[in-house]
Structure 1
């Protein structure tokens, strides 16, 4: 999973003006990409309701879709092929969330498999963006979906291992809230490969911590959830110290 607090906030690799390419094609291309994305999200919601027909399924699917894609739509920029891949990942997250809601505490194997597919696609949208067009709006969309999935997985662990497992999912949102008032936290962070590794590991660790394997062996669940929390605490703490020391 990519950086939970965007490396675009630290290093944006492109702008919405972009360069000529697939992502900057005619408006019809952007409309087509947006249509495909909308179709994927609608299909995920329908599939979730078919698999688990209940009011809570409809509400969960609507909430995850709105939170995930809402900020991207408000930016009003044309959709790119990478955005379509991110929307596909969001569609899988919608189905995974509904599976979590209707499964016993934690994740069943269906949720684990769907969640793993969503994680696998996380690297694909970046690959597509680098070969088509990298936009600030697309980076923000990717970041929003990443943070939302970590939050969902973290909350799913609470009934299993306790309230503290929700912290990895809340860090990003707390950081963003403070950033709105703490101007020195709005600086761009320097690129860090370790930050990317920690962020990518969150989804893997949290899915492992909620899997049937972890439910059968408590040390696996506690170990994976604890490692996720410890590594993300270290990563955020290091970045906050850097921001405070380099305040302009």
Structure 2
């Protein structure tokens, strides 16, 4: 299957290895992956901050960067949720109305695409350790993704996936929320990490790099013995560097 890759801002700027691992995972699942290096952002930061005109400008570039018929895959439930749900507020009854609807129907978060479209869940990945999975708000509430990451992680050799208390509770990032309400945001991160430590986990895994960035920052600041990993990095672990 031919797919186009959308690499979110967070991953492009801070976690490029996750983008490469996404390509490796998709290719191992039988996909031919294309990537436009001129792509930028989906417009979510501006939209969430209330700058809808700016978000529309960025979103217009996003829509024009993909064909109407392409399958688009991204390692971000947050960006997927933005396009599928909130582009309606920006492009309904505009000249890009039909293009928007086509792209909305063709964009998938990585784990959703692998499990539900390709029906492929075994990559030969290996990761020794005990882990918890964090349901990001975007994955759970905007993209209705719950079962898919667990199915993929259950096939990773050596990985023990254990329950995380309050795993459906927000980690505290929330985009500009973490800046405007830093004390509350930090307390929410602390609760999430404390629950993971209570489960004796060595890893916190999620679909969203933004959540993981927030949690890893708290972990690093407090010198805690736990690590965050994006699910794409987990699925490519043990074979992706070969």
Q: Which has the higher contact order (CA 8 A, sep 6+)?
A: 1
Question: Which has more strand, going by share of residues?
Answer: 2
